[in-house]
Amino acid sequence: MFDMENVLLRLALQKSGRLSEDSLNLISRCGIKMNNGLGTLKTSASNFPMEFLFLRDDDIPGYVADGVADIGIVGENVLFEKNKLVMEVHKLGFSKCRLSIAVPREVNYKGVSDLNGKRIATTYPRILQRFLDENGIEAKIHEISGSVEIAPNIGLADAICDIVSTGSTLFTNGLKEVETVFRSEAVLIGHPHLSETKQQILHKFLFRIKAHQTAQNNKYILLNAPKESLETIIKILPGMKSPTVTPLAQEGWVSVHSVIDENDFWDKIELLKDAGAQGILVIPIEKMII
Ligand code: PRT
Ligand code: ZN
């Protein structure tokens, strides 16, 4: 299918952790079949010129910068903390989280200047330092490699700066979130100087990623409407170009097919019902190329 002189684009993935499942899912949604690689360091794809390296997420920016891997999937938190020379190619929309400062619940925190002179434990010293500098705060950063949330309880620090998702880890450790330092999601990163052939493969991969993301953000909608409401209904449903309208066997009724954005889905359904639409069907879209 591809005649690319046997060049393979090497993608670095997290071996096991919070990014792994969604990364593998994305690859599969792009129609790329990975040869069985469970437990191995490296595997290839059977139907796409791609090879996969399984690594710790912290090592991914470095390997991509050095050219050991051509592209990688990593959290923006790790990308910015590692500060390696790589390109941020595309945001992937999963593994969303934030890096926040938290203090013991009983502390009467009034604002960022309360952090002056305090000790803050974190595994993200670089991102935290930038936040402190931007806010003109002088605090002491304690870099630790894990279990940051216990630092205040054992007297190691007055505050922490750590990844928060649901907030339950902070809660169970008697901490409260007081400042958001950084928002993160998984991103596709790339080596800054890929060969022409590798860039072409990356292009194909990106095209598939975007088709999958667009499909995820849209729904296919089918409904029946009385002919006299058609004009109103078409205004509510702009669709990709214009909706498909076909007559129904029942006199005076038509069937309307279109695509709607996931974000204004519920508002549009209300409006469509009010306009006289009936038998509304909403169907997920597998791929969408616009
Ligand atoms: O072994 P390896 O080094 O590869 O993995 P890791 O243990 O360093 O990373 P991993 O798998 O935990 O996370 C990978 C990436 O997922 C992170 O770099 C973030 O970009 C993203 N991510 C999304 C998260 C979370 N959500 C998350 N909740 N990373 C970590 N957490 C931890 C956080 O450190 C804290 O301990 O979960 C806890 C907080 O969660 P809540 O839900 O209780 O608030
Ligand atoms: Zn890690």
Q: Among the residues of 135-187, which ranges form H helices?
A: 168-172
The CA 4 to ligand 1 mean position distance, Å, reads 37
Judge if the beta carbon of residue 171 lies within 6 A of ligand 1: no
Instruction: Give bridge partners of residue 160 from the DSSP assignment.
Output: 102, 121
The CA 162 to ligand 1 mean position distance, Å, reads 9
Q: Which ligand is nearest to the CA of 162?
A: 1
Per-residue pLDDT of the chain (290 residues; tens, 9 = 90+): 555 568 999 999 999 999 999 999 999 999 999 998 777 899 999 999 999 999 999 999 999 999 999 999 999 999 999 999 999 999 999 999 999 999 999 999 999 999 999 999 999 999 999 999 999 999 999 999 999 999 999 999 999 999 999 999 999 999 999 999 999 999 999 999 999 999 999 999 999 999 999 999 999 999 999 999 999 999 998 766 778 999 999 999 999 999 999 888 899 999 999 999 999 999 999 999 87
Q: Indicate if 97-184 has the same CATH topology as 9-94+186-215.
A: yes
| Cα–Cα dist 146/169, whole Å | 13
pLDDT tens digits, residue range 86-126? 999 999 999 999 999 999 999 999 999 999 999 999 999 99
* CA-18 nearest atom, ligand 1: 11
Number of H helices, E strands in the chain: 8, 15
Note whether 95 and 19 are within 8 A (CB).
Answer: yes
The CA 173 to ligand 2 mean position distance, Å, reads 21
Q: CATH 3.30.70.120: does it fit domain 218-284?
A: yes
Pick the CATH number of 97-184 from 1.10.760.10, 1.10.230.10, 3.40.50.1220, 3.40.190.10: 3.40.190.10
Judge if the beta carbon of residue 99 lies within 6 A of ligand 1: no
The CA 70 to ligand 1 mean position distance, Å, reads 24
DSSP annotation of 263 reads G
| Cα–Cα dist 212/287, whole Å | 5
- Name the residue type at position 152: P
Q: CATH 3.40.720.10: does it fit domain 9-94+186-215?
A: no
Note whether 12 and 71 are within 8 A (CB).
Answer: yes
